[in-house]
Structure 1
């Protein structure tokens, strides 16, 4: 009987990543206030993040040439734009909405987009049709957003 891989490590890593997103908004808000611009704050954040990723990549010893990237569709290259938009908006919105509301509203948006992408099989994902159970789950998250915002 084949063993299924443990999901413990991926789940813990995603919890850590989620915590980092919560830390990112207030630190970028500090940059935004100092520089007077959420876009400049996002630029600084991405420059530091790019340097950190460069160090991690160099330390990994993995050296792929550029050839595999040439066959990718144009939209494979714009993933960083989504992150940049999020970081700039979060730096602007965090002091106005509060951190908990920012995160929960963002998660609501992520779930809605994920449901649609799963449903149509966007960007090479396997198709997972929208079901009543999934819609109820999304509705509960949206309800949570409302409760956190009103709380």
Structure 2
């Protein structure tokens, strides 16, 4: 494995760790504000302001903002799905715990990603479901259930 590949893997691992920290922070905001939707809105406003500042400073003129309105409707789902995830995490974290939340969401991602790959959905290259991939997904699901129920 190259140093570059190792660095990318380490970065992905770090991002996963940060998601584990994000869930309880947002849940605490929800408790203080009195509603999960308020916390989700707060989270997105802070994130949007941060991304706007970074984009304006680092990517001056590189983003084709005029093309936003011509994007196909399905591409608008990315933001909507992010809002659903953040809100669900705010609701679920105090009820099932961070470990179970993250494990179960990863299990859901793995199962859904196998289907996306297999059928080449959303313009992805087709990657057949193999016995090894199914077994790997089942191990992730089993691990998630163990985190949640043991």
TM-score normalised by the chain length of structure 2: 0.91
Q: Would you tell me which structure has more helix in proportion to its own residues?
A: 2
Within a 5 Å distance, the mapping from 1:2-151 to structure 2 comes to: 6-63=4-61, 64-151=63-150
Please, which moves more after superposition, 85-94 or 74-83? 74-83
CA distance change for structure 1 residues 138 and 27 in 2, over 3 Å: closer, same or farther?
A: same
Runs of 4+ in structure 1 displaced over 6 angstroms?
none
CA distance change for structure 1 residues 120 and 62 in 2, over 3 Å: closer, same or farther?
A: farther
The CA deviation string for residues 33-75 of structure 1, in whole angstroms up to 9 with x for no partner, is: 1111111110000000001111111221342333444553211
Please, which moves more after superposition, 55-64 or 66-75? 66-75
Q: Structure 2 unaligned runs (5+)?
A: none
Please, which moves more after superposition, 103-112 or 8-17? 8-17
- SS of the aligned residue for 1:128 comes to coil
1:16, 1:128 → 2: CA distance?
27
TM-score normalised by the chain length of structure 1: 0.90
1:108, 1:16 → 2: CA distance?
18
Q: How many residues align?
A: 148
Taking only aligned residues, the RMSD between alpha carbons, in angstroms, comes to 1.7
